[in-house]
Amino acid sequence: MRKIAGAIYLIYSLSVFFAVMFLLLPFFLLFSVLPSKISYPLLFSCIRLWSWITMTFIFIKINIRKNPNWDKNTSYVYIGNHGSYLDAPAVILSTPSIFKPLGKIEMAKFPVFGWIYKKMVIMVDRKNKESRAASVTALKAELNAGMSILLFPEGTMNTSELMLKDFYDGAFKISIETQTPIAPMLLLNAKEMMPRKNPFLFAPGTLHVICADIISPVNYTMDDVDAYKQAVFKEMNNQLIQFKAYDKIH
């Protein structure tokens, strides 16, 4: 019975997602022809509105524990744990500034959605060495131009029982090379609300997001990438474990 209800809710949620997409499509088309410095902030506002309307109508509340030290006028390497399709709207609604995300090229194949996706995302073909190198160059260029970026350092969705999968080096190399601080986001229960392995267990509720303390690369060099990566991993993993322990008690 739970899976039947979940399947109905999943179909309803996807219907809302695409209905809102088509409702906002004229604005995407209009804004996309403007110069890039003007168009991207407007397009990002559409993405935020799309996320907010969708979450509202599928009865998912996003509870964001904001961090007063996050400055909307500062560039960050935003990172987060990645275990659900809910992660995207959650991070879009949680950050104080707009950002350019890194995304897998496969998502660009979908009609209409793929066109919007290509306008918003720095795409990477993870199987192609040249594509990976080009995406890093593009991400660094965005930071140097004053834009923030977003990466999920686990690489792909975490479908394991671990709180976090091992991180890749990319976000940390970029942070050190550009001397851009890392702003970690902890998506505490998105994986449980919409599990990748069993999406028919999808259910409404409250998704909790913590904007954690900013981590500076100032004391790290390119020889310290692994140490930097492990320090961030440890901090995020510990906070996720603490939340799970608290959640079980309460």
User: What structural domains does the chain harbor?
Assistant: 60-249 (3.40.1130.10)
Query: Average pLDDT of the chain?
Result: 92
Report which of 208, 234, 231 is spatially closest to residue 218, judged by C-alpha positions: 231
Residue 124 and residue 171: Cα distance in Å, rounded?
Answer: 14
φ and ψ at 121, to 5 degrees?
-120, 145
Q: What is the predicted pLDDT for the residue at 200? A: 81
User: Helix H segments across 58-159?
Assistant: 87-94, 113-120, 129-144
178 against 245, higher pLDDT: 178
Residue 44 and residue 55: Cα distance in Å, rounded?
Answer: 16
Query: What is the tens place of the pLDDT at every residue in 9-66?
Result: 999 999 999 999 999 999 999 999 998 889 999 999 999 999 999 999 999 999 999 9
In single-letter form, the type of residue at position 144 comes to N
Q: What is the predicted pLDDT for the residue at 81? A: 95
Query: What is the tens place of the pLDDT at every residue in 167-216?
Result: 999 999 999 999 999 999 999 989 889 888 787 888 899 999 999 999 99
Q: Report whether 103 contacts 124 (CB < 8 A).
A: yes
Query: Residue 133 — very low, low, confident or very high, per pLDDT cuts 50/70/90?
Result: very high
Is the pLDDT reported for residue 246 higher than 70? Answer: no
Residue 83 and residue 188: Cα distance in Å, rounded?
Answer: 10
When mean pLDDT is compared across 44-58, 80-94, 235-249, the lowest value belongs to 235-249
pTM for the complete prediction?
Answer: 0.92
What's the sign of the alpha-carbon dihedral 30, 33, 35, 40? positive
Q: What is the strand order of the sheet 77-80 is part of?
A: 60-65, 205-211, 182-187, 77-80, 148-151, 99-104, 122-124
The mean pLDDT value for 75-84 works out to 95
> Can you tell me whether residue 49 is helix, strand or coil?
helix
Q: What is the predicted pLDDT for the residue at 250? A: 37
Query: Residue 245 — very low, low, confident or very high, per pLDDT cuts 50/70/90?
Result: low
Report which of 177, 191, 120, 103 is spatially closest to residue 143, judged by C-alpha positions: 177
